């Protein structure tokens, strides 16, 4: 297969982890006889420095012309004083909007070797393997009207949770499709006891369930889901939910695994290229030191191969390799935790981890 992959390293540890990820994809290409063409683009703070804008037109054009976008991370203290329109995050939001990636997939997998890395009890986290499907381009973050005005009692402010039937259907459909390829257990999370948008969401989910006899659909209120995610995460397989709910629940669920340096994500649209990135940020505190954990970005490559290139075997090979290096005891500093010093196990660097 020949595929063009856009590489947007961004800021902080972004360039370090994407360099290792590209090297990994090159190895996969050699072994499996594919040709991956990588082209780099600017995004975030480094794009502000070099091109005066966090999302140059050339970057968006490059992304649109590729089959998948591999992204590092954006942001850092250097650009914190920039006005909103010129902040590094604006580049990332612009890219998501520009590619219309309406679904954010975040797998939450606990590796058996790392059950003690989580602040939760071993018996609670052992064996967790869930996937959050978060709606990414609608809902409370984009609804109109929004903004503030002067009222009698001071400031009046409004945000709107708005969806079209089309937007709800396409994210639910993806949830059903993915659930039917996994255990068949789909939890739709809403706030249907209060919100009209959630009641419509529920009705549409119920209607769609008829088309997926192999999927067991259940509904859960978001507040109760938040509790269950830390009390009994094993009851979840695929979770599909609104933008804000998914933003909060996916960060909460990330805690189950113990390290932010391990978690990948995929943002998918309707047929266009997906964006694949680690869920962590640019980690300015460790940038340039060569100690960042590259596994989240490497697992994001596996998602790229699976979702944008339909290379399931190659994707699984990467996931198995990550399991293997963890089983062999390889740990970057974020995973070595308290054992550093006390046991004499010294953590390894970004490049060394990647080479395993
Ligand atoms: P962060 O995720 O960058 O870092 C949080 C903590 O986790 C830090 O102690 C960091 O050293 C550690 N960490 C993160 N990734 C790691 C890895 N791969 N290996 C080892 N340790 C790792 O979040 P923070 O500190 O809140 O934000 C830093 C900057 O990143 C900010 O400018 C923020 O806006 C930006 N950010 C960007 C995101 C993106 O590009 N998608 C997402 C989150 C934050
Ligand atoms: Mg968030």
Residues 138 and 252 in one domain: yes
Distance 103 CA to ligand 2 centre (A): 14
Residues 73 and 184 in one domain: no
Candidate of 69, 281, 287 to mutate for ligand 1, largest count of ligand atoms within 8 Å of Cβ: 281
| Ligand nearest, relative to CA of residue 134 | 2
Residues 286 and 338 in one domain: yes
Terminal Cα distance for the chain, rounded: 26
Average pLDDT score over the chain: 91
Residues 278 and 250 in one domain: no
Ligand 1 atom nearest 44 alpha carbon: 40
How much is the pLDDT for 318?
94
- Percent with pLDDT over 90 in the chain: 78
Q: 92: which 2 tokens?
A: 């990332």
Residues 94 and 150 in one domain: no
The annotation status of 243 as a binding-site residue, yes or no, is: no
For 83-111, what is each residue's pLDDT tens digit? 877 899 999 989 998 999 999 999 999 98
How much is the pLDDT for 26?
94
For 235-258, what is each residue's pLDDT tens digit? 999 999 999 999 999 989 988 988
Q: With 50 as the cut, is the pLDDT of residue 162 above it?
A: yes
Q: Kindly give the pairing relationship between strand 154-162 and strand 139-151.
A: antiparallel
Domain assignment of residue 1, yes or no: yes
Residues 252 and 131 in one domain: yes
CA distance 354 to 21: 8
Q: Which of 187-196, 311-320, 326-335 has the lowest mean pLDDT?
A: 326-335
Tally of structural domains, the chain: 2
Q: Kindly give the pairing relationship between strand 129-135 and strand 139-151.
A: unpaired
Ligand 1 atom nearest 297 alpha carbon: 18
Atom 30 in ligand 1: which residue has the minimum CA distance?
281
Q: With 60 as the cut, is the pLDDT of residue 339 above it?
A: no
Domain assignment of residue 108, yes or no: no
Distance 248 CA to ligand 2 centre (A): 6
Neighbouring C-beta atoms of residue 159, cutoff 10 Å: 14
| Ligand nearest, relative to CA of residue 10 | 1
CA distance 244 to 247: 5
Q: How far is CA 83 from CA 45, 79, 86, 140, 284, in A?
A: 12, 9, 5, 23, 20
Structural domain range at position 123: 119-257
- More confident call, 215 vs 354: 215
Residues 248 and 275 in one domain: no
Q: Per-residue pLDDT averaged across 19-30, rounded?
A: 94
The answer to whether 135 and 167 have CB atoms below 8 angstroms apart is yes
Domain assignment of residue 208, yes or no: yes
Q: Which of 16, 17, 14, 90 is nearest to 48 (CA)?
A: 90
Domain boundary among 225, 257, 289: 257
Residues 128 and 246 in one domain: yes
Domain boundary among 226, 257, 288: 257
Domain assignment of residue 295, yes or no: yes
The answer to whether 88 and 54 have CB atoms below 8 angstroms apart is yes
Long-range contacts of 88-93 (CB under 8 A, 24+ apart): 88/10, 88/11, 88/43, 88/44, 88/45, 88/47, 88/48, 88/54, 89/44, 89/54, 90/54, 90/55, 91/43, 91/44, 91/47, 91/53, 91/54, 91/55, 91/59, 92/43, 92/44, 92/54
Domain assignment of residue 41, yes or no: yes
Domain assignment of residue 106, yes or no: no
How much is the pLDDT for 89?
92
Using CB distances shorter than 6 Å, the residues near ligand 1 are: 13, 73-76, 89, 92, 260-261, 277, 280-286, 292-293, 296, 332, 334
Residues 253 and 299 in one domain: no
Question: Residue 344: pLDDT band by 50, 70, 90 thresholds?
Answer: very low
How much is the pLDDT for 340?
32
Helices 196-209 and 165-181 pack at an angle, to 10 degrees, of 50
Q: Which of 72, 57, 58 is nearest to 11 (CA)?
A: 72
Q: Per-residue pLDDT averaged across 51-71, rounded?
A: 97
ipTM of the shown complex: 0.97
Residues 50 and 147 in one domain: no
CA distance 271 to 37: 20
Question: Residue 113: pLDDT band by 50, 70, 90 thresholds?
Answer: confident
Residues sharing a CB contact under 8 Å with residue 276, sequence separation 6 or more, in sequence order: 68, 69, 70, 71, 264, 265, 266, 267, 300, 301, 303, 304, 308
Domain boundary among 209, 233, 257: 257
How much is the pLDDT for 135?
97
Distance 168 CA to ligand 1 centre (A): 31
What's 63's domain CATH number? 3.40.718.10
Question: Residue 73: pLDDT band by 50, 70, 90 thresholds?
Answer: very high
How much is the pLDDT for 355?
59
Residues 224 and 277 in one domain: no
111, exposed or middle or buried, with CB in 10 Å at 0-12, 13-18, 19+?
Answer: middle
The annotation status of 281 as a binding-site residue, yes or no, is: yes
Distance 180 CA to ligand 1 centre (A): 33
How much is the pLDDT for 338?
32
Q: Which of 210, 130, 202 is nearest to 168 (CA)?
A: 202
The annotation status of 164 as a binding-site residue, yes or no, is: no
Residues marked as catalytic: 141, 191, 223, 247, 251
Residues 161 and 78 in one domain: no
For 166-213, what is each residue's pLDDT tens digit? 999 999 999 999 999 999 999 999 999 999 999 999 999 999 999 999
Domain assignment of residue 114, yes or no: no
Q: With 80 as the cut, is the pLDDT of residue 71 above it?
A: yes
| Ligand nearest, relative to CA of residue 93 | 1
How much is the pLDDT for 336?
63
Ligand 1 atom nearest 278 alpha carbon: 41
Distance 14 CA to ligand 1 centre (A): 10
The annotation status of 6 as a binding-site residue, yes or no, is: no
The annotation status of 252 as a binding-site residue, yes or no, is: no
Residues sharing a CB contact under 8 Å with residue 346, sequence separation 6 or more, in sequence order: 336, 340
């Amino acid at each position: 297969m020949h595929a063009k992959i856009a590489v947007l390293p961004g800021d902080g540890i972004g360039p370090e982890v994407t360099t290792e990820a590209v090297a990994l994809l090159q190895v996969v290409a050699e072994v499996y006889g594919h040709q991956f063409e990588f082209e780099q683009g600017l995004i975030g703070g480094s794009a502000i420095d070099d091109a005066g804008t966090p999302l140059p037109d050339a970057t968006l054009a490059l992304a649109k012309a590729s089959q998948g976008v591999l992204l590092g991370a954006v942001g850092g203290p250097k650009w914190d004083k920039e006005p909103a329109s010129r902040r590094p995050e604006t580049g990332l939001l612009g890219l998501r909007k520009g590619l219309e990636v309406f679904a954010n997939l975040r797998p939450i997998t606990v590796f058996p070797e790392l059950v003690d890395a989580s602040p939760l009890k071993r018996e609670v986290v052992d064996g967790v393997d869930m996937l959050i499907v978060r709606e990414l381009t609608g809902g409370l973050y984009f609804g109109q009207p929004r903004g503030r005005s002067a009222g009698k009692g001071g400031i009046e402010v409004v945000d709107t949770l708005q969806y079209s039937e089309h937007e709800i259907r396409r994210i639910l459909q993806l949830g059903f499709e993915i659930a039917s390829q996994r255990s068949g257990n789909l939890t739709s999370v809403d706030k249907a006891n209060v919100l009209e948008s959630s009641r419509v969401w529920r009705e549409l989910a119920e209607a769609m369930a008829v088309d997926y006899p192999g999927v067991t659909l259940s509904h859960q209120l978001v507040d109760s889901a938040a509790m269950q995610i830390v009390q009994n995460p094993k009851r979840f397989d695929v979770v599909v939910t609104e933008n804000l709910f998914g933003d909060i629940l996916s960060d909460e669920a990330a805690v189950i695994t113990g390290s932010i340096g391990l978690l990948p994500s995929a943002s998918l649209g309707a047929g266009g290229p997906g964006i694949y990135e680690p869920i962590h940020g640019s980690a300015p505190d460790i940038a340039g030191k060569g100690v960042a954990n590259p596994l989240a970005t490497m697992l994001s490559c596996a998602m790229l191969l699976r979702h944008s290139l339909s290379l399931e075997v190659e994707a699984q090979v990467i996931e198995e390799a990550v399991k293997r290096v963890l089983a062999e005891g390889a740990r970057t500093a974020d995973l070595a935790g308290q054992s550093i010093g006390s046991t004499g196990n010294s953590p390894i660097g970004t490049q060394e981890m990647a080479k395993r």
